[in-house]
Structure 1
Amino acid sequence: MGFVKYWLDVKSGLSLKDKQVFYIDDNESIEKIEIIDNDNRWEVIFYIKNITDDKEAIEITKEIMGNLQNVFSFHYNAVFGDLDLHSFCIKEQIQYILGGFVKLRSSIVVKDGVVKQIQQSLNDKDLTNKLNYNVYHKLYRESRKSDDPVSRFMFLYSILADLINGSQSKIDKYIKKVEPEVKLIKSTNPRYPDRFETEYTWLRNQVGHTNSESDFLKIRTEIKSKEDSFSSIVKKAIG
């Protein structure tokens, strides 16, 4: 049995307990997938069967690696950077491409049921196809890659605006439907002195329409505290 090993730039996501093993149903090429977290460092190993060609093994594992990243991102907002091939052994000699691991910059400790959920999602072809080909899921993952919370938030808001395809009042109507208890804040726009906006739209407008009274540090802190809840709203809109 051969193997293909990758290491992955993980900006945020899951801190796995020990070694986790995943299986792909009805796959004649992949025996199993191991993800090893050693002091918050990941390596991902595909165990190969029935393949003798290096390029074929790498092509197949890269596709599944993409699915793996997508389902972690979909379920747990994991953020991934570059994917690099570490080493492989399909015939007899091990080929080393890169050495070492990439350390997690931040993490959420794995919870019970995570492995089962990821396992089910990897074998859900409808879900993996949706995550691979739906443009909004792709945009959502791209929005998560920025290191700046304000940039991430504004990217997410633009995705929601495109999905709703309407004015900010329509966007707020959708937000209130998903989150009925959302905080409402009086608009600072002089054209709409009596209008109340959801806190998400208000924050978006504080960034988009700054003035001499804007406290950007405070706005940035508030955006960071609301990022997870707003991400969930956008994900629900994407479906």
Structure 2
Amino acid sequence: MKAESPHSNYQPLNSEEGRWFHRLRNFIMGINVFLMAFAVSGLVVGFIELDEIDSAIREICSPCQHAHVIYMSSFGALLLLSFLGFVALHTRKRCLRILNTTCLVLVFIPLVFGSVLYVLMSTEHINMQYGWNLVVAERSDDTCKLELQWKCSGWNKLCATHSTIGLIDLKPLEGTEKENIINNLSVVTNTTSYCSGADEICACPICTEDDQKYIDKFDQTCEMVVMGALRSHLIVFLFVSLCVVVLTGAGIVVSVAYPHAEW
């Protein structure tokens, strides 16, 4: 009995269609190879840098607490799916192409979430000032570590210092908010920090004298540094989302429109 060819269920296309689909197939395979390399790079960056970013912002940005998990999960899934897509195109298995397209649609969901988060942060719809003030009030040491880690001073205003005995100077916090923050602070013999030239709500942590000497040399606010780093990493989601859209659309065309075409 003659063995059935693995491609016997395919229907040949005419010469022009065949060339077009052959080019499309090679193009999508190339995209999958590129996405595999891109996903590996993203995972490496995630292991090296994003753990520090996550630890630095988890307390001051509630929506960002799971950003690292979403980032790593998305790139891990992208690596697996791009490999699956390459195998599906190379072996011409229709079931694998359909599975790959379906999974790409599912992976697109967290990427869309990341894109929305990027837009919200770019337009400053996420208020990280409130989180900063709370961390300053409850865990001033952690805020000092963040300033040293990111080489920044204050949140949206640079902090100045002078030697004194007393509480952290919050200017121009007033009323209940100021009372709530001050109630969580301790009297210390150190340097009192205050926002220089502040014309809006701001807060500065009390750091050790040695740490504060370094912090006083920084000329960037932590808002500038942290938000800049977040935006530079979250913009990757926009690029990956675009690639997933291209792959998903091409997969739908290949798997649905021409389900039995030998290309």
Structure 1 length-normalised TM: 0.29
Q: Which has more helix, going by share of residues?
A: 2
Select the structure with the greater relative contact order (CA < 8 A; seq sep ≥ 6).
2
Structure 2 length-normalised TM: 0.27
For the pair shown, the structure with the greater C-alpha radius of gyration is 2
Q: Which has more strand, going by share of residues?
A: 1
